[in-house]
Amino acid sequence: MVPLRVLLVDDHHLFCQGVKALLSSRPNIDVVGCAGDGLEAIALARAAMPDVILMDIEMPRCNGLEATRQIKREFPHIIIVVLTVADDDDTIFEAIKCGAQGYLLKSLEAYQLFDMLEGLRQGSAPLSGSVAARILKEFSDLAPDPGEKLAVREELSEREREVLELIVAGKTNKEIADALVITENTVKTYLGNILAKLHLQNRIQAAVYAVSQGIVKTPYPGESSS
Amino acid sequence: MKRVLLYSPRSLFAQGIQNLLDAAPECQVIGWESDLEKAVERIQELQPDTILVVNRSASDSLVSIGQRFLKVGGNTKIIELNLEDSKGCVYIGEWFVIQNFDDLVKMVEEPVTGFSEKSGRDSFTGEPKEKKTY
């Protein structure tokens, strides 16, 4: 298996060293660099071309949100996962809007980070549990009346809508493929079509959009789905 | 070799610190507790040289916990780290017998151990300090 190339971005030097030591001990992960601020992150992204960037938010000179925006503009294929202490709604939603494809809180345990990074290979979106629940609940409250969403729904095919429902349910590409009895490559094709039609960048944005527009009902616990 | 006890939830940061300490020849991690009462028991039992505390936030108060640790830990040192910034705070427990008021005055006059002097860096900025010349 090709090692996952990871760039760490954090101005907390000891935190960075500790995470680097943990990730470097994993056989399928290569830490390709550590940046102390957003500007350094952009420079190292250009030089090292990582697969994944673990990005802090509060940093001097250039914060993680701005760095995410710039790196995604220049290198849309690089996956950026926010790793931060900030768990407020504004920061979470702003990070997603900037193009972050995951949002993890620094209070998570090492094995959770390893699992999340491994899940990236299967196309899942790393979200700390509380963050995921908050995103879905927030946008489920904004779901419009059924009549208003008809025009958007018609843009997606029936199959694309099925794929989107499973994305909202947090399924990986493999799980979606198994559920719909199709190949993973076909799932990726559907996902690409969905993102293109909705002008979105990643599956998190697709899930949030789907719930906010009422295309898919939220699977938020306590609500009945129909 | 200094014997270090970790007191912290099992967070990524704390696990990273443990990983680094395990590789440092000067240090030996002798235990890790995330429960306060169990930590107090282990400190009494093991008498570590240093207790390393990892908080989530710089504003998390360690005072009452630190007092308990220092009382049972003997001549121990507590180093407090947090997830928000790169600052560490040191609490030192040194026990003295006070036989008279002069002993107390000496304790008051005794300077705080100058970690910044030894490291050559400013305590708050981390920048290298200029050496004083006379």
Interchain CB distance below 8 Å, A107 and B11: yes
What pLDDT band is residue A198 in, cutting at 50, 70 and 90?
confident
Rounded to the nearest 5 degrees, what angle is found at the Cα of B10, between the Cα atoms of A60 and A35?
25
Each residue's pLDDT tens digit, B104-133 = 887 777 776 665 555 666 665 666 665 544
Name the residue among B9, B12, B83 with its Cβ closest to that of A110.
Answer: B12
- Best mutation target among B6, B17, B19 (most A Cβ atoms within 10 Å) is B19
Interchain CB distance below 8 Å, A22 and B19: yes
Q: Of A156-160, A183-187, B23-27, B53-57, which gets the smallest average pLDDT?
A: B53-57
Element (H, E) at B52: strand B50-55
Question: Do A55 and A67 contact (CB within 8 A), yes or no?
Answer: yes
Question: Do B69 and B43 contact (CB within 8 A), yes or no?
Answer: yes
**How far is the C-alpha of A149 from the C-alpha of B100, rounded, in Å?**
83
Name the residue among A17, A19, A85 with its Cβ closest to that of B56.
Answer: A85
**How far is the C-alpha of A118 from the C-alpha of A199, rounded, in Å?**
27
Interchain CB distance below 8 Å, B84 and A85: yes
Task: Concatenate the DSSP letters of all residues of A78-136 into one string.
Answer: SEEEEEES---HHHHHHHHHHT-SEEEETTS-HHHHHHHHHHHHTT---B-HHHHHHHH
* Residue B117, pLDDT score: 56
Interchain CB distance below 8 Å, A108 and B84: no
Q: Is A71 on the interface with B (CB under 8 A)?
A: no
**pLDDT at A142 > cutoff 80:** no
**pLDDT at B5 > cutoff 50:** yes
User: Rg of chain B over CA atoms, in angstroms?
Assistant: 16
Q: Is A106 on the interface with B (CB under 8 A)?
A: yes
**How far is the C-alpha of A79 from the C-alpha of A202, rounded, in Å?**
10
Stretch A132-150: mean pLDDT, rounded?
Answer: 61
Q: Which of A90, A216, A195 is nearest to A144 (CA)?
A: A216
Which chain B residues are Cβ-neighbours of A6 within 8 angstroms? none
**pLDDT at A82 > cutoff 90:** yes
Interchain CB distance below 8 Å, B85 and A21: no
End-to-end CA distance of chain A: 41
Helix or strand or coil: residue A147? helix
Structure tokens at A186: 């076909």
- Tokens 């969403």 -> residue: A149
**How far is the C-alpha of A206 from the C-alpha of A191, rounded, in Å?**
9
* Residue A224, pLDDT score: 37
Q: Is A114 on the interface with B (CB under 8 A)?
A: no
What's B57's DSSP letter?
S
Q: Which residues of B touch A (CB under 8 A)?
A: 9-13, 15-17, 19-20, 23, 56-57, 81, 83-86
**pLDDT at B76 > cutoff 80:** yes
Each residue's pLDDT tens digit, B24-67 = 898 899 999 999 899 999 999 999 999 999 877 766 666 677 77
Interchain CB distance below 8 Å, B12 and A106: yes
- Best mutation target among A29, A91, A109 (most B Cβ atoms within 10 Å) is A109
